[in-house]
């Protein structure tokens, strides 16, 4: 099963999206956007940049947990992963993004 983006509206009326792997696991989450159009642009940016491993920054949280961010051409962070238990698990998450992001479908859940 291919990956998909879920576009949602938060309780405070902001928009965000998450990229899910084929197995349903969340592999990347966006920031909060004021406008739906901005969130949709963010999805397009992830589709465009997500297939390029050089666009990912491998980072470590304050508690020592590995995670990653995906950056656009302009250097802006367009998505962040969860915290992982190991560097190899984080690297697997990056690989999953590279594989799933370019062709992922969009499930718009904001109309509900």
Please state which architecture CATH assigns to domain 4-108.
Roll (2.30)
Per-residue confidence (pLDDT) for residue 92, from 0 to 100: 95
Contact 100, 2 (CB under 8 A): yes
Query: CA-CA distance, 112 to 107, in Å (whole number)?
Result: 12
Per-residue confidence (pLDDT) for residue 17, from 0 to 100: 97
Enter the pTM of the model.
Answer: 0.92
Per-domain boundaries in the chain: 4-108
For the stretch 12-45, pLDDT in tens is 999 999 999 988 999 999 999 999 999 999 999 9
Contact 6, 20 (CB under 8 A): yes
């Amino acid at each position: 099963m291919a990956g998909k983006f879920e576009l949602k509206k938060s309780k405070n009326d902001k928009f965000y999206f998450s990229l899910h792997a084929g197995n349903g696991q969340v592999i990347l989450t966006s920031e909060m956007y004021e406008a739906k159009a901005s969130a949709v642009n963010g999805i397009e940016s992830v589709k465009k940049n997500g297939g390029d491993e050089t666009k990912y920054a491998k980072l470590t949280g304050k508690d020592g947990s590995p995670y990653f961010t995906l950056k656009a051409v302009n250097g802006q962070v367009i998505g962040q992963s969860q915290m992982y238990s190991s560097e190899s698990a984080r690297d697997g998450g990056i690989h999953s993004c590279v594989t799933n992001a370019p062709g992922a479908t969009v499930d718009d859940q904001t109309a509900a």
